Amino acid sequence: MRQQHEQITIDGTPVVVIRSAQRQRTVSLERVDGQYILRAPATLVGEQLHALAGQLIRRYTNRQRRRELNDDGALRRRADELNRELFGGTLKLTAIRYVTNQQRRYGSCTPAHGTIRISDAVARLPAWVRDYVIVHELAHLVEPNHGPRFWRLVNRYPLAERARGYLMALGLEEGATGTADDAGCVEGSGGV
């Protein structure tokens, strides 16, 4: 028999595994009728198979989540509204999108490119907190550091202090060591 079919469970998710002697190196994952199907070489077994399947499922679900969050353009529309309301529409925002690879910060900005990335975790927060994160990153387009000028820009948002407190409380709850003011910032880019 050239193909072997089996069902495994990865983090509570059933996965049909089709192993083939003809397949030498490549592994693929697809979702058909709501079920994951993993095609792999016959030699891939045990913990190695489970680890790879888990990694592929996480990648697949992250890609789907990013697509769902970014497809409707709502984040960009809201950023443009806040730009008009608080910055007179003067900021040059090239792109803003949700990402799934920021677990230690709520957002980040690359001022040189005019790009902003917002953690997908922010999508689950109240709208007024999400707006604060957007404003924080928009302010980095003008001022890349967290100096007094930066905070004057951020504080144009009427709920800035309240939102910072909300994010700090979340960080404390999750055992974070930083604050909502400085978590995750790196040289040359801004982030909260």
Domain assignments of the chain as residue spans, ordered by start: 3-70, 74-191
The rounded Cα 147 to chain-centroid distance in angstroms is: 26
Give the residue among 188, 189, 184, 186 at the shortest CA–CA distance from 171: 184
- pLDDT by 10-residue block (mean), the chain, 192 residues: 76 86 85 88 85 89 86 93 97 95 90 95 95 97 94 97 93 49 40 60
Buried/exposed code over 111-138 (b: 16+ C-beta within 10 A; e: otherwise): beeebbbbbbbbeebeeebbbbbbbbbb
Question: pLDDT by residue (tens digit) across 73-126?
Answer: 999 999 999 999 999 999 999 999 999 998 888 999 999 999 999 999 999 999
CA distance linking residue 93 with residue 76, whole number of Å: 9
- CATH of segment(s) 74-191: 3.30.2010.10
Strands 107-110 and 35-41 turn out to be unpaired
pTM of the complete model? 0.73
